[in-house]
Amino acid sequence: MKTYTCEHPEAKVDHLRKIYGVLETRNIPNTDVLLFAKQNVAHFGPRGIAGQPLVEKELRQCLECLLKTLIAAHQVPVYHRDIRWENVVRRIDDRSTWLLVNWEDAAEPPTKAETSFSCSSHSAAIFSDDHEAEVDIWGVGYLIETCTARDVSTELRALFVWNVIS
């Protein structure tokens, strides 16, 4: 459950209703769901296990789940825009399934710059208006780069370098 104490909490909760409504209506896989929202409070489910993959096999499972999510979401289109390990959890009831959670900063086109994000953990495109899927694809590369699993191959890590250059 989240309680919003920002300047306009009702607007934040309304945004959550809209975005999670799109995710549900369009059957976007591997996301959390908005179970309850009222005034400045939102409750999400299912609960997941926070933490990064421990080995490359788990990282590959995670990436497969997240890429399925993003392929479906980008067809809407809706962009998550904040893909970091803090927003990825593993399902409690199926440890091979990973969820992309916390869609509170998600946006549909036309997108606006998000200047509150950190330049070290987000694509440079997020700081400009009219960004699209590239911010999420960069985020997937960032997950690979920052994953602390002990056996991640050089080839897999090289995907982030390619992503940054492109």
What predicted TM-score, i.e. pTM, was given to this entire model? 0.93
Mean pLDDT rounded to a whole number for the chain: 95
Domains along the chain with CATH numbers: 48-165 (1.10.510.10)
Q: Which pLDDT score is estimated for 6?
A: 87
Smallest Cα–Cα separation from 65: which of 28, 112, 26? 28
Task: State mean pLDDT over 125-151.
Answer: 96
pLDDT-derived band at 165, boundaries 50, 70, 90 = low
**Ordered strands of the 41-45 beta sheet:** 2-3, 41-45, 33-38
Task: State mean pLDDT over 41-61.
Answer: 96
Distance between CA 43 and CA 65 in Å, rounded? Answer: 23
